[in-house]
Structure 1
Amino acid sequence: MRFDTGQVPTDFEGYRYPFDVHDRFWYAYDRDDWTQLSTSQTIDSGSSNDYQPPPIVMRTAATPRRANASLDFFWLPADDKASYYVYMHFAEVEKLQANQSRLQYITRNGQVFYELFAPDYLYTNTIFSPAALSGGQYNFSIRKAENSTLPPILNAIEIYTLKEFLELETNQEDIDAINIIKSTYKIKKNWQGDPCAPHLLVGRCKV
């Protein structure tokens, strides 16, 4: 799931290629207690964030309607045993004055998830879970620091479900057949990899 939190869903179907070079689909996500900020300036000019959220997505951001409120979002897992990775993308879209500051932190289920930070002006900062999240409760809040003069912002969210493949990538019967052949013909060579890789790389077949 990918959400553009700075867009209002009305008459907006989302962004994908050519706006997203990887053809990922970004849906609009909005709440009644949120409002939007935007800029006409280019995001990540001359630089590239590793996760490459589309600049058009990062040019808008959500912020609370009430100055002292937090930005809250959550999701309900389809399976209590499911695990997730979450990526939150931030970019300051307002040119702050000398007497202004936007300091914020993130909590998950009331516990600090990420400590104080200030989004960079016109550049993407991505905060993510380095390990898969589990436990059945996924309530996130982006909160204003006590000494911040401005409320928090959030430009985009990505949520991935961890998929575990419990079966071997190779059919066990194929492995058994190869081992029988090696045993029958008393083959001692290592058969890992491609036995007939390109000639220029290995010179000849390994078989």
Structure 2
Amino acid sequence: MYRYKDDVYDRIWLPYESRDWRRLTTSLNNDDLDQNYYRPPAIVMSTAVTPVNGSAPLQFHWDADNVNDQYYIYRHFSEVEELAGNETRAFNMTMTGELPYGPEIPIYRGVYTIFTRLPLTGAKRYQLSLSKTENSTHPPILNAIEVYKVKDFSQLETEPDDVDTIANIKNAYGVARNWQGDPCGPAKYMWEGVNCSFNGLNPPRITS
């Protein structure tokens, strides 16, 4: 598992295995990687999966608990093999609830992200499929995927003045903790080392 400090946004990255995949790896650090806005960690992007059968599609799926669930998906790609001039890796991509993409060509030591602009909803199973193009000499790859399920939080956001104060403290003292999002909400995920008070219909307040 990887998270902060490998990931500046403290996302949680977990390995996922399939008997239909094989792993490709390279040596990569953050200085080597030409990042994009989403900044997936280099240690995560240094590994990719590809189908065991080079002619078969690379597939990944998950099942929704409820067909009304909404999901946002981020798929991250980076070429981990330095291909020769006469070699190519190009693939088309389909995803339940989306129009097809492609052809996609991963960038060597660069990050390319495809994301959903609108939430995916209405399906019991969501299937991602990557298929090599007719002229591609290499099968598709996938380095990382983020799946976010939309949750309806009834809790109010933390009092804005308190948020500004704690943010200034964090910046002034260089606090190196996994402080992201709302300091007090959801209550189950309050910032580490922060205490909050909750008073009915009023916004939560930071007490210490």
SS at match of 2:44: helix
CA distance in 1, matches of 2:148, 2:98: 21
CA distance in 2, matches of 1:88, 1:44: 21
Match of 1:80 in 2: 67
Contact 1:42–1:122 (CA under 8 A) maintained in structure 2: no
- Counting matched residue pairs gives 158
Match of 2:38 in 1: 51
Equivalent of residue 87 in structure 2, options 75, 94, 100: 100
CA distance in 2, matches of 1:98, 1:47: 21
Is 1:145 the equivalent of 2:143? no
* Structure with the greater alpha carbon radius of gyration: 1
- Report which structure shows greater RCO (CA 8 Å, sep ≥6): 1
**In 2 relative to 1, CA 97–104 (structure 1 residues): closer, same or farther, beyond 3 Å?**
same
Contact 2:71–2:147 (CA under 8 A) maintained in structure 1: yes
Q: CA deviation at 1:73?
A: 0.7
Match of 1:119 in 2: 106
SS at match of 2:63: coil
Contact 2:34–2:111 (CA under 8 A) maintained in structure 1: no
Contact 1:43–1:58 (CA under 8 A) maintained in structure 2: no
Report the TM-score when normalising by structure 1: 0.69
Contact 1:90–1:124 (CA under 8 A) maintained in structure 2: yes
Match of 1:89 in 2: 76
CA distance in 2, matches of 1:115, 1:52: 22
Q: CA deviation at 1:117?
A: 1.4
Is 1:24 the equivalent of 2:11? yes
CA distance in 1, matches of 2:136, 2:30: 23
Report the TM-score when normalising by structure 2: 0.69
CA distance in 2, matches of 1:70, 1:152: 7
User: Cα deviations across residues 148-190 of structure 1 (Å, max 9, x unaligned)?
Assistant: 000000000100012345x6969xxxxxxxxxxxxxxxxxxxx
Letter of the structure 1 residue corresponding to residue 126 of structure 2:
Y
In structure 1, the gaps of 5 or more residues are 1-13, 171-192, 195-207
Is 1:155 the equivalent of 2:143? yes
Contact 1:44–1:124 (CA under 8 A) maintained in structure 2: no
Contact 2:97–2:121 (CA under 8 A) maintained in structure 1: no
SS at match of 1:116: strand
SS at match of 2:100: strand
RMSD: 2.3
In structure 2, the gaps of 5 or more residues are 162-208
